[in-house]
Structure 1
Amino acid sequence: MTIRILLLDDHAVVRSGYRRLLDAEPGFEVVAEAATCDEAYACLQRGGVDVAVVDISLRGSSGIEAIRRMLARAPELRILVLSMHDNPGYITQAMRAGAVGYLTKSCEPAEMFDAIRAAAGGRRTLSPEVAQSLATAALDGEHGLSRLTPREFEVLRMAAGGDSAATIARRMHLSQKTVLNHMSAIRQKLEADNDFKLLRLAMCHGLVDLPAAFAYRG
């Protein structure tokens, strides 16, 4: 049986490289490509996709929220994340949103092929460095962001990156009031009574780099 694949990545060169690799592998066929979440949703409406290979770092949108919304449209879809991030926060929230596997972009092609086959069969797969990251965080007790829901995690990530409540609301298809309510819940869960503490936590957990953090507008 041929596994039909959707590629969601906002870099055309990356998608082209993955397409060449996957189309050359027996049993795989890339049937759709998308640069944005909306393009991915449109592809799913046409049907015929078994596995979506998704990058959660998408310009102008929420990758983790995209996972949730893609599965709402196509519950039978299997999603494999292929990301540059091996931070336990990203991994945990992507899996909570419904992904069945998580690899970093440094993985070998054979590892990606195996993960796609596992995803198509509904089996969970983590690359070794991803599993190590989760294990280290669990042992060290440092993964405080696990208290957040996937949506709260994305709101925090975008806010710490400098996005306003209005921008976050637009990108996540929420009202500004809902975004502000999420920020209030985030502060309570992380025991951060001001935005500077939130920024520090976001930086410590690798959600935002230092220059981006200083661009925060509240």
Structure 2
Amino acid sequence: MAKKIRVMLVDDHAVVRVGFRMLLSASADIEVMAEADSGELAYQQYPEHQPDVVIMDLSMPGMGGIETVRRLLARDREARVLVLSAHEDTAHPKRVLKAGALGYLSKRTAPEELIEAVRAIAAGRIYLDADIARKLATQDLASPSGTVEALSEREFAVFIQLARAQSVNRIAEILNLSPNTIGSHLYNIKQKLGAGNQAELTLIAVRNGLIEA
């Protein structure tokens, strides 16, 4: 019998994990062998389980999906991560892939596509939601000033937390940075995006489909 693909599910909603577990377990070649309800817990448990594929929700409380991907890849360069998101913008998938994930799927994709993505990523291949791949292919990939594309990777991580109304001290705790460093990033973010306060940053994030209103 061929070896099964061992999967870790990471999502802060238990009912979502149950649904994915049922879907994936129906496939003879996939086994869900671990679950976590946060990026922090996934990072802690990863060495113990050593899954073939990590399926991770992007928008979780705490350090969130992109930062978790970055830390998992820093810990294990061979980690294979598939990110799931309700967002269908192009900023998120580009950040996710740059952080080291091999795949990005919209949560609206057909169930059979998730299984196909898991198999592809377990084999070391990149897998993107077809609509998102098309948007990325046709988009101007330059980083114009005044848009979120102008932000560095760390600035983008701070920006998302700020848009979620997190305090500077809380963001420092989540990202393992000093409050002074977060303050510097905040200044640069406001300059690049032309925002005067946190409310304007939140509005920019909503307009770009990066967070829900």
Deviation per residue, 1:53-89 (Å, 9 max, x gap): 0101002332211110111122211000111111111
Root-mean-square deviation over aligned CA pairs: 2.3
SS of the counterpart of 1:4?
strand
Query: Are the aligned partners of 2:34 and 2:49 in contact in 1 as well (CA < 8 Å)?
Result: no
* Percent of pairs with identical residues: 40
How far apart, CA to CA, are the structure 2 residues paired with 1:140 and 1:77?
29
Q: Which runs of 4 or more aligned residues in structure 1 lie more than 6 Å from their structure 2 counterparts after TM superposition?
A: 139-143
Tell me what 2:72 maps to.
70
1:139 CA drift (Å): 8.4
Tell me what 1:194 maps to.
196
Q: TM-score, normalised by structure 1?
A: 0.86
Tell me what 2:31 maps to.
29
Tell me what 2:188 maps to.
185
Deviation per residue, 1:110-156 (Å, 9 max, x gap): 11111111111221111122223334543899893223233221211
How far apart, CA to CA, are the structure 1 residues paired with 2:202 and 2:26?
44
Tell me what 2:88 maps to.
86
- Cα 1:139–1:157 shift into 2, 3 Å: closer
Deviation per residue, 1:83-122 (Å, 9 max, x gap): 1111111111111111111001111121111111111122
How far apart, CA to CA, are the structure 2 residues paired with 1:138 and 1:158?
26
Aligned length: 209
Gaps of at least 5 residues in structure 1 are 211-218
SS of the counterpart of 2:6?
strand
Tell me what 1:106 maps to.
108
- Structure 1 counterpart of 2:161, one-letter code: M
- Structure 1 counterpart of 2:187, one-letter code: S
SS of the counterpart of 2:96?
helix
Tell me what 2:133 maps to.
131
Tell me what 1:162 maps to.
165
2:20 pairs with 1:2:
no
Query: Are the aligned partners of 1:93 and 1:149 in contact in 2 as well (CA < 8 Å)?
Result: no
SS of the counterpart of 1:138?
coil
How far apart, CA to CA, are the structure 1 residues paired with 2:191 and 2:52?
39
Q: 2:148 aligns with which of 137, 145, 154?
A: 145
1:159 CA drift (Å): 0.7
Gaps of at least 5 residues in structure 2 are none
Q: 1:52 aligns with which of 54, 60, 80?
A: 54
